[in-house]
């Protein structure tokens, strides 16, 4: 037994043990840098894999040309070896811009006039000024794609010829004309309000209407004038005429891609390769093809040529019935969840508000202020927040906030409208039951004490 104990059989002395220990420790320490290098390489590989697995998100607005341009960007990025996802028709300018700034999307097609007027609030800004302002917010911009898609006012050709209208200024003498304008154009800084002031237009009726529905209304004679995009294929399809912007009100709307500066160099290069590659005639043709087939990916494929067969999945158009059922179901889900939350929160707040006082006035005041916030502004406030972004949560919270006021106010009003004698009688009844319950509790305690 002692022979196996080196300290007891003339083996290694304590100093030698320490030396041996140090030697072993030295060997261990010498191995650690290699382990660290291996760990670093592993982390780099995992990070690269996860980064490559996350797709680049491309957003688009709710009109044909935006869909087509987004599909062109998607195809270009895929050709560069990038995993891409296209989220179609996310909304208007404010939604897409806030989603890009907040990281909800990585790329989307935009127009220089919109960037300067609506997003940066710098009318008539130069391209260099636009780039600098965007760069300060972590956003980059490609050179223009080669065409100008400015705003225009359009009419049916027979109607314009009947009234002798050729320019926007000619509309001034015909107040009886009905204007059907998109909701975004009605609110834009370079839209209806400054346009009507510049041209001194005061039509008898101005309606807000969806972009696509506006063409049908124009064809049926339900409206006389509509806002449009100069490269919109429907102008030719519906036989419309574009009124000349004789006062040169509309700025240049050169098509570009906005993308986050955090995008990989390969992806950024692929987007910039699309600069000066599409003229107006070609864009109108692609828009027309997309309108005809409702297949935006196929229209984008025509831009690259149709012989490579990159898009192999056949396009199956969703029927109107299925589309209607899908959207109605989705609407009911969002509205139902938000309504349930509004009831759960609104009823207690309404009961508290019915008692009056400072707290009641504060509750009614806050819910009333929320009700006055425009829907687009509320979405613009919610989208950049980390928890929300472009998601169902954002829609549910927005609908919940809008649903609070009627529930709180009606609950408070209903309770306050109860006749005073009835409320007093109810309060006395509650007091009576409270006293009765206290007596029962006292008797129960006395019995337990006696036992």
Cα 29 vs. chain centroid, distance in angstroms?
53
Q: Cβ neighbours of residue 380 under 8 Å, at least 6 residues apart?
A: 94, 95, 98
pTM of this prediction?
Answer: 0.60
Question: Among 47-56, 331-340, 408-417, which stretch is predicted with the lowest mean pLDDT?
Answer: 47-56
For the record, the structure tokens of 417 come out as 């409208």
Segment 125-161, tens digit of pLDDT: 999 999 999 999 999 999 999 999 988 999 999 999 9
The residue-averaged pLDDT of 56-81 equals 93
The rounded distance, in Å, linking the Cα atoms of 97 and 21 is 63
Classify residue 371 as exposed, middle or buried by CB count within 10 Å of its CB (0-12, 13-18, 19+): middle
Segment 369-419, tens digit of pLDDT: 888 888 777 877 787 776 776 678 888 898 999 989 899 999 988 888 777
Q: In CATH, what is the architecture of 54-148+253-304?
A: 3-Layer(aba) Sandwich (3.40)
Cβ atoms within 10 Å of 176's Cβ, excluding its own: 9
Task: Name which CATH class applies to 151-242.
Answer: alpha beta
The residue-averaged pLDDT of 192-210 equals 93
- Please name the residue that has the structure tokens 């097609």: 109
The rounded distance, in Å, linking the Cα atoms of 228 and 182 is 9
Segment 317-329, tens digit of pLDDT: 456 777 788 889 9
Closest CA to 212 of 192, 228, 230, 224: 228
Cα 30 vs. chain centroid, distance in angstroms?
54
Q: Cβ neighbours of residue 201 under 8 Å, at least 6 residues apart?
A: 168, 171, 172, 195
**Domain definitions of the chain by residue range:** 2-51, 54-148+253-304, 151-242, 321-416
Segment 238-263, tens digit of pLDDT: 889 999 999 999 888 999 999 999 99
Segment 424-450, tens digit of pLDDT: 666 666 666 767 677 777 766 665 555
Q: 54-148+253-304 and 151-242: same fold? A: yes
């Amino acid at each position: 037994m002692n022979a196996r104990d080196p300290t007891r059989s003339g083996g290694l002395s304590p100093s030698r043990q320490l030396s041996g220990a140090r030697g072993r420790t030295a060997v261990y320490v010498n191995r650690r840098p290699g382990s660290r290098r291996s760990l670093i390489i592993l982390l780099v590989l995992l990070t690269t894999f996860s980064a490559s697995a996350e797709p680049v998100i491309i957003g688009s607005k709710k009109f044909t040309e935006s869909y087509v341009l987004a599909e062109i960007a998607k195809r270009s990025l895929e050709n560069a070896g990038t995993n891409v996802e296209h989220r179609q028709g996310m909304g208007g300018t404010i939604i897409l811009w806030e989603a890009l700034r907040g990281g909800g999307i990585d790329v989307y097609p935009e127009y220089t006039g919109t960037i300067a007027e609506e997003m940066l609030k710098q009318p008539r800004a130069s391209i260099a000024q636009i780039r600098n302002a965007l760069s300060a917010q972590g956003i980059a911009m490609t050179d223009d794609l080669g065409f100008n898609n400015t705003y225009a006012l359009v009419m049916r050709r027979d109607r314009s010829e009947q009234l002798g209208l050729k320019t926007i200024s000619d509309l001034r003498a015909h107040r009886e004309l009905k204007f059907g304008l998109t909701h975004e154009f009605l609110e834009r800084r370079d839209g209806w309000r400054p346009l009507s002031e510049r041209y001194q237009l005061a039509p008898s009726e101005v309606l807000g209407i969806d972009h696509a529905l506006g063409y049908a209304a124009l064809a049926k004679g339900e409206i006389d004038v509509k806002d449009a995009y100069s490269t919109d294929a429907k102008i030719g399809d519906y036989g419309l005429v574009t009124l000349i912007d004789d006062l040169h009100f509309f700025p240049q709307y050169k098509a570009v891609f906005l993308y986050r500066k955090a995008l990989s160099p390969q992806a950024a290069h692929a987007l910039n390769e699309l600069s000066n590659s599409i003229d107006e005639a070609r864009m109108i043709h692609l828009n027309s093809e997309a309108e005809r087939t409702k297949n935006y990916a196929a229209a984008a494929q025509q831009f690259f040529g149709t012989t490579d067969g990159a898009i192999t999945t056949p396009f199956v158009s969703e029927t109107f019935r299925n589309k209607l059922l899908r959207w109605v179901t989705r609407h009911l889900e969002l509205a139902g969840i938000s309504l349930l939350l509004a009831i759960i929160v609104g009823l207690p707040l309404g009961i508290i508000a019915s008692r009056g006082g400072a707290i009641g006035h504060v509750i009614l005041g806050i819910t009333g202020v929320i009700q006055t916030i425009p829907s687009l502004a509320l979405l613009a406030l919610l989208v950049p927040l980390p928890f929300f972004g472009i998601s169902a949560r954002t829609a549910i919270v927005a609908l919940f906030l809008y649903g609070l006021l009627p529930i709180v106010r009606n609950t408070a009003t209903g309770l306050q409208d109860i006749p005073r004698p009835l409320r007093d009688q109810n309060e006395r009844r509650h007091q009576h039951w409270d006293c009765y319950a206290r007596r029962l509790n006292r008797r129960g305690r006395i019995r337990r004490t006696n036992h």
